Amino acid sequence: MERTGPFLAIAAGGTGGHILPGIETGRALLASVPGSRAEWICGGRAIEQRIYTSHGIEPVRLRVGTHRGRGRTLVSKAEMVADTGAMLRRLRRKRPDAVLAFGGAACAPVIAAAKLLRIPIFLHESNAVPGCTTRLFARHARRVFLGMGGFEAPNAVLTGTPAAPPAEETVPIASRDTLLCAGGSQGASSLNELFLAVLADPRIAELPLRFHLVAGPGKGEPPVPPGVPREKLTIVEYETNMGSVLARTRLAVSRAGAGTLADLAAHSVPALLVPYPHAADDHQAANAAHYAGRGGAETVREENLNTEELTDQLSRLLASEDRLNTMSETMGALAHRGAALRVVETILSELGVSGATAGARIPAGTGGTA
């Protein structure tokens, strides 16, 4: 196949917080640069491929990250060596113009192979606290794109985290009819249980709202307590049309992964954030503070949360349309609209390639793998 435009290899795995911004960036390249190509690379976990395929993309799958339980470290090292060799062969054959890494176990072998082949490397760090990929490989990158800041380096540039733009016009808070609970692409069992217990309280159950719970893959449908209005409740394992759900969400109860926060901001959704307490370097707490400190969200630590407290918090917020309107406006103002295109334009500029031209986002379901 004749090369007519830039070719970008995008490494993103682990969670939706890495994968979804990678998908949006690849799509921005394909939509804005004629003849361009993108290829997405992920680790071996089933949820990673599921996220990609739900967006119409068949990624290149590595083995790293597949093994769980005893012996994980030893197996991971063996997977890393094997995957690095596989990526050396693939990148040597495909010769992408650059590698862009968003995070997850798949990034290390891709970056290592690119370094050996002298292919330009770019990183994206979505979180307020830099993750392992950024800490290990920032010095090898032409640019480190930042979602929220929090990383000081000469090659760092703030672009925001790429997020899918709203598919429909943003409507006022008063016209939205959904209370959403989402624990990120992995789900959150403890948050699921708390949310369902809250829905049994008449203060919440009797509100003129629908309730939408994204439970998380592999967790099964959680038990629904007596008193929950089942006719108003939707439970899904993984939400494949989150944009449509967010467009009608009046308030979200959510973890504080960077990708989730970027999506909430893109749709101007006010949120009560419950950071995952075991996140590396407590980075979700830092993410939550970034949005709560500016007034777009409120945050509460999980260790301080019980059914009564969550019910009180939600009742208070849902009773104040003025408060929700203010939070919604602030969340919208915190969105970095066009982040994917800014990342693409910067990469092309660094490579000395003609700049991207703003265009419509390519339709969901378009692949683009080489």
pLDDT of residue 370: 29
Name the β-bridge partners of 9: 39, 99
| Structural domain boundaries in the chain | 7-163+336-351, 173-334
Q: Tell me how crowded residue 131 is: count the other CB atoms within 10 A of its CB.
A: 24
Handedness of CA 154, 160, 161, 162 (dihedral sign): negative
Residue 330 · residue 365 · CB < 8 Å: no
Residue 145 has φ and ψ, to the nearest 5°, of: -85, 135
* CA of residue 266 relative to chain centroid, distance: 12
pLDDT of residue 355: 62
Q: Tell me how crowded residue 112 is: count the other CB atoms within 10 A of its CB.
A: 20
Q: Which fold has domain 173-334?
A: Rossmann fold (3.40.50)
pLDDT of residue 17: 87
Q: Tell me how crowded residue 309 is: count the other CB atoms within 10 A of its CB.
A: 13
CB-side neighbour CA atoms (13 Å) of 180: 29
Q: Which fold has domain 7-163+336-351?
A: Rossmann fold (3.40.50)
pTM over 0.75: yes
Walk along the chain (370 residues) and give the pLDDT tens digit of each residue. 455 789 999 999 988 889 999 999 999 999 999 999 999 999 988 889 989 998 999 999 998 866 444 444 444 678 888 999 999 999 999 999 999 999 998 999 999 999 999 999 999 999 999 999 999 999 999 999 999 988 999 999 999 999 988 877 778 898 999 999 997 655 578 899 999 999 999 999 999 999 999 988 766 678 899 999 999 999 998 888 888 999 999 999 999 999 999 999 999 999 999 999 888 889 999 999 999 999 999 999 988 889 999 999 999 999 999 999 999 999 999 999 999 999 999 999 999 986 665 443 433 433 333 2
CA nearest neighbour of 213 among 173, 184, 175 = 184
Cα distances from 45 to residues 64, 215, 216, in angstroms, run 8, 18, 14
Cα angle 7, 12, 16 (rounded to 5 degrees) comes to: 130
Cα distances from 82 to residues 66, 88, 110, in angstroms, run 13, 10, 11
Domains 7-163+336-351 and 173-334 share a fold: yes
CB-side neighbour CA atoms (13 Å) of 135: 9
